[in-house]
Structure 1
Amino acid sequence: MDTQGVATDPQLQQFIEIESQKQRFQQLVHQMTEVCWEKCMDKPGPKLDSRTEVCFVNCVERFIDTSQFILNRLEQTQRSRGAFSETMTD
């Protein structure tokens, strides 16, 4: 199959998109883990104390809220310019 055939193969395109989404999700989880670990973890131990656990929960919720807010703003900006692109939502 030539490169043009690969570019137009819908199954291959779908597979690539799914794998790209998985990669972006893994990057987001890694970034969130790193940020929240640095913010909340004072000294690692065998168990999380309640303060640390609450900190992690709040950190993850704020991270998700902030990411969603930024994503929505980017979508609004792109739509208002009339050039919305699905690649910006990733």
Structure 2
Amino acid sequence: MFDVREKPRMVERAFLIGVYFDRSDADEAESLLDELAELVGTLGIGIVGRACVFVRDRNTRYLTGTGKCDELIDRAKELDADCIVFDN
């Protein structure tokens, strides 16, 4: 008997999201997002987009608010991203 298994899909396109909690940390968050882009690139994954998000109040489920979360997911879908990578 043969087991039919679906071949796992390769991640080829990533959408990166950086999060910061103090407005004075925006430059550092961008710098860390640059570093994350390099790390993701070493895996052979292309970067299709990125966003740096200020979070005033942390949401335990999504980190950002639900509205911002939906906005980021929609943007990643528009860019045809295979995955979303957070740096927080």
Same fold (TM over 0.5): no
| Greater RCO, 1 or 2 (C-alpha within 8 Å, sep 6+) | 2
Find the structure with the greater CA-based Rg.
Answer: 1
Q: Greater helix percent: which structure? A: 1
Higher strand share: 2
Normalization by structure 2: what TM-score?
A: 0.30
